[in-house]
C-alpha cells in the first residue's frame, strides 16, 4: 500500500532513534513524540490548534528513503517507515542557534531563558536591539491561533512583515472583537499578554481591552466579562439573562 | 470613502473574502491610501474580522495606512538598485523635497517611499513616479522627472 492510500489517522509504525514506535498516519510528529514520552523542546505547539512551526525549537532529523534532513517536528506529518533522530549533532547545533536567536528576540522572557538554559544555552551572540530589551513575545502566533480556531473571536492577528512583524490588536488600539476570555493569556508560552482584574473590570493588557465583569446573582462574585457571556450566548442562542449565576452557584 | 462606492467595489469582487487583496487594491486606487474608517466599514460589510483585514493591509509594502500625497515617488532599494546608488537618490529627494523616506511633504504634494525590489534590476537604480518607471536614474535625471511636481 503506497502511503497516499493510507487513510488519515490509520495506525502505522515509524522509528525513533532506531526504536519502533506506533503512530497515526499524518498526525503531527511532535504530538506523536510527546505522547510516546520523548522530550522535545517547543514553545509554540498546542494540540488544540493548527501547527505553525514558528519557534523552530522542535527540530529533529527525519529520514525517509536515503535523504535525511532537519525539520520542525510540530508541522511534520508522521508516515509509515519514517526514521526520526532526536539529538544528533546537527539538531543540537541548529537548536543552539535557534535558542540564541530567541534570546535576542525576547531577552525579557524568563521562560525562554529557562528553556535555553536547560539545553545549555546561556547567552546570545546576536545584538539585542534597544526596542527588544523589554520584549517577551517571540511572535509564535499561538494566541491568534487560539483566538481564531478555538474561541472564534478573531480579535488579533499578525501585522506587518519581516522586522516589522508584530502581534497586535488592529491599529494597536483596543481590540473590539476581544471577548476577554483570557485564552490567549493562558496559552502564551512566555506569558507576555497580561491580564488584570478589579472587582469591576477585566483588562487584557496587550490588546488594550477593558471589559466590565458580570457579577453572580447568588454569591455576588464577578465571574466573566459581560461581553463574553453576550457573545457566546448569542452563538448558542441564549440570552444574557441565562447567565446570571456563576458556575459554582449553578 | 462613501458607503455606496465601497459596496460597489465589494460587489465587483463578488463579495468573496478570497478577493480581499484585490478589494484593498481597488480602495487604494480610489483613495491613494487605506483609511482606517474604510477598512472598518469593509470588515463589517464583508463580515470579516478587522484583524484579518489589518493583517493583510500591513503585510504588503504597496499598501499605505497613512495618507499619501498627490504624487507618489517610490525608489527601489533592492540589492541591484542599492549597489547602483539608490541610497544616494533617496538622500537627494529627501533634501530636495524636505521629506523623510516613508513620509509625505507637509503640503501633501509628494510621498516618498522605498521598496525592496520591483523586479526590474537591469534598469537599476529604478524610481517609480506616479506609476511610471524611470530606469538608470541619477540625481540630474531625478530632478528633471520631479520638476513638474516641484513647480506645481
C-alpha cell at A214: 458580570
What pLDDT, in 10s, does the model give residues B28-70?
999 999 999 999 999 999 999 999 999 999 999 889 999 999 9
Residues B9 and B29 in one domain: yes
In a domain, B65, yes or no: no
Cα A43 to Cα A115: distance, rounded to the nearest angstrom: 9
Residues A175 and A205 in one domain: yes
Share of chain A above pLDDT 90, in %: 88
List residues bridging with A203 in a β-sheet: A196, A210
Quick one: A70 and A87 in the same domain?
yes
Is residue B37 located within the same domain as residue B77?
no
How many degrees, rounded to 5, is the angle at CA A78 between CA A99 and CA A17?
Answer: 65
Q: Which of A157, A164, A176 sits opposite B55 (nearest CB)?
A: A157
* pLDDT tens profile A203-226: 999 999 999 999 999 999 999 999
d(CA A106, CA A120): 17
A and B: number of Cβ contacts within 8 A: 36
Query: Which ipTM score applies to this complex?
Result: 0.88
- Which pLDDT does position A250 carry in this prediction? 79
Contact at CB, A154 and B54, closer than 8 angstroms: no
Domain range for A116 is 1-136
Identify each DSSP E strand in B51-134 by its residue range: 71-76, 103-104, 110-115, 127-129, 132-134
* Whole-number pLDDT of residue A201: 96
Q: Report the gap between the CA of A36 and the closest CA in chain B (Å).
A: 37
Among the three residues A98, A115, A136, which one is the final residue of a domain in this structure?
A136
* Helices and strands in chain A, H and E counts: 6, 11
Of B49, B52, B54, the CB nearest to A171: B54
The answer on B90 and B49 residing in a single domain is no
How many folded domains does chain A comprise?
A: 2
Please give the radius of gyration of chain A, using alpha carbons only, rounded to the nearest integer: 22
Q: Which of B54, B59, B60 shows the shortest C-beta gap to A170?
A: B54
* 3-class DSSP assignment, residue B88: helix
Range of the domain at B50: 3-59
Compute the nearest-CA separation of A171 from chain B (Å): 8
From chain A, the residues in CB contact with B58 under 8 A are 159-161, 164
A184 and A100 within one domain: no
Angle separating helix axes B86-97 and B139-151, nearest 10 degrees: 30
Question: Within this chain, do residues A66 and A102 fall inside the same structural domain, yes or no?
Answer: yes
A171 plus A123 within the same structural domain: no
d(CA B40, CA B29): 18
Number of domains in chain B: 2
Q: The domain spanning residue B109 has which CATH number?
A: 3.40.30.10
**What average pLDDT score do residues A138-159 get?**
97
My answer on whether B101 and B145 are in the same domain is yes
Question: pLDDT per residue over A6-31, tens digit each?
Answer: 888 899 999 999 999 999 999 999 99
Q: Give the DSSP letter string of A59-114.
A: EEEEEETTEEEEEESTTSB--TT-EEESS-HHHHHHHHHHHHHHHHH-TT-HHHHH
pLDDT at residue A247, rounded to an integer: 85
The minimal CB distance from A155 to the residues B36, B51, B59 is found for B51
Each residue of A84-123: pLDDT tens digit?
999 999 999 999 999 999 999 999 999 999 999 999 999 9
List residues in chain A touching B: CB distance below 8 A.
144, 148, 154-161, 164, 169-171, 175-177
Which chain B residue has the Cα nearest residue A157? B51
In this structure, the answer to whether residues B124 and B76 fall within a common structural domain is yes
Q: How far is B96 from chain A (nearest CA, A)?
A: 28
Nearest-neighbour CA in chain A from B22: distance (Å): 18
Q: Are A117 and A188 members of one domain?
A: no
Question: How many CB atoms sit inside 10 A of residue A39's CB?
Answer: 9
Has residue A1 got a pLDDT over 50?
Answer: no
The answer to whether the CB atoms of A169 and B51 lie below 8 A apart is: yes
Q: Answer whether residue B53 is part of any domain.
A: yes
Average pLDDT, stretch A59-72?
A: 94
Is the pLDDT confidence value at A3 over 60? no
Give Cβ neighbours of residue B18 (< 8 Å, ≥ 6 apart): none
Dump pLDDT digits (tens) for B61-89: 889 999 999 999 999 999 999 999 999 99
B78 lies in the same domain as B33:
no
Nearest beta carbon to residue B58 from set A148, A155, A159: A159
Amino acid at each position: 500500500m503506497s502511503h497516499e492510500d493510507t487513510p488519515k489517522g490509520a495506525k502505522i509504525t515509524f522509528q525513533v532513534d532506531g526504536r519502533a514506535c506506533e503512530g497515526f498516519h499524518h498526525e503531527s510528529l511532535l504530538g506523536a513524540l510527546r505522547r510516546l514520552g520523548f522530550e522535545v523542546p517547543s514553545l509554540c505547539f498546542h494540540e488544540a490548534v493548527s501547527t505553525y512551526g514558528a519557534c523552530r525549537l522542535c527540530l529533529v532529523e527525519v529520514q525517509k528513503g536515503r535523504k535525511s534532513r532537519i525539520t520542525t517536528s510540530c508541522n511534520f506529518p508522521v508516515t509509515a517507515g519514517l526514521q526520526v533522530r532526536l539529538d544528533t549533532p546537527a539538531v543540537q547545533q541548529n537548536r543552539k542557534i535557534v535558542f540564541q536567536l530567541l534570546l535576542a528576540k525576547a531577552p525579557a522572557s524568563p521562560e525562554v531563558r529557562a528553556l535555553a538554559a536547560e539545553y545549555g544555552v546561556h547567552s546570545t551572540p546576536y545584538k539585542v536591539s534597544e526596542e527588544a530589551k523589554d520584549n517577551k513575545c517571540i511572535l509564535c502566533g499561538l494566541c491568534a491561533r487560539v483566538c481564531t480556531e478555538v474561541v472564534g473571536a478573531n480579535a488579533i492577528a499578525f501585522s506587518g512583515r519581516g522586522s516589522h512583524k508584530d502581534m497586535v490588536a488592529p491599529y494597536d488600539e483596543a481590540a473590539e472583537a476581544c471577548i476577554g476570555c483570557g485564552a490567549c493569556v493562558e496559552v502564551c508560552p512566555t506569558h507576555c499578554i497580561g491580564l488584570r482584574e478589579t472587582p469591576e473590570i477585566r483588562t487584557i493588557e496587550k490588546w488594550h481591552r477593558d471589559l466590565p465583569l458580570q457579577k453572580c446573582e447568588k454569591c455576588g462574585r464577578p465571574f466573566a466579562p459581560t461581553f463574553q457571556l453576550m457573545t457566546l450566548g448569542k452563538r448558542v442562542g441564549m440570552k444574557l439573562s441565562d447567565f446570571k449565576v456563576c458556575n459554582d452557584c449553578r | 470613502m462613501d458607503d455606496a462606492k465601497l459596496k460597489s467595489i465589494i460587489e465587483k469582487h463578488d463579495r468573496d473574502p478570497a478577493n480581499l487583496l484585490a478589494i484593498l487594491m481597488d480602495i487604494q486606487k480610489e483613495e491613494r491610501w487605506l483609511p482606517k474608517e474604510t477598512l472598518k466599514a469593509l470588515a463589517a460589510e464583508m463580515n470579516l474580522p478587522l484583524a484579518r483585514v489589518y493583517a493583510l493591509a500591513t503585510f504588503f509594502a504597496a499598501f499605505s495606512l497613512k495618507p499619501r500625497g498627490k504624487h507618489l515617488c517610490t525608489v527601489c532599494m533592492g540589492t541591484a538598485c542599492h549597489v547602483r546608488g539608490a541610497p544616494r537618490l533617496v538622500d537627494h529627494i529627501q533634501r530636495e523635497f524636505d521629506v523623510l523616506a516613508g513620509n509625505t511633504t507637509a503640503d501633501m504634494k509628494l510621498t516618498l517611499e522605498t521598496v525592496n525590489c520591483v523586479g526590474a534590476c537591469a534598469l537599476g537604480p529604478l524610481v517609480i513616479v506616479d506609476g511610471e518607471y524611470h530606469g538608470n536614474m541619477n540625481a540630474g535625471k531625478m530632478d528633471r522627472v520631479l520638476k513638474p511636481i516641484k513647480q506645481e
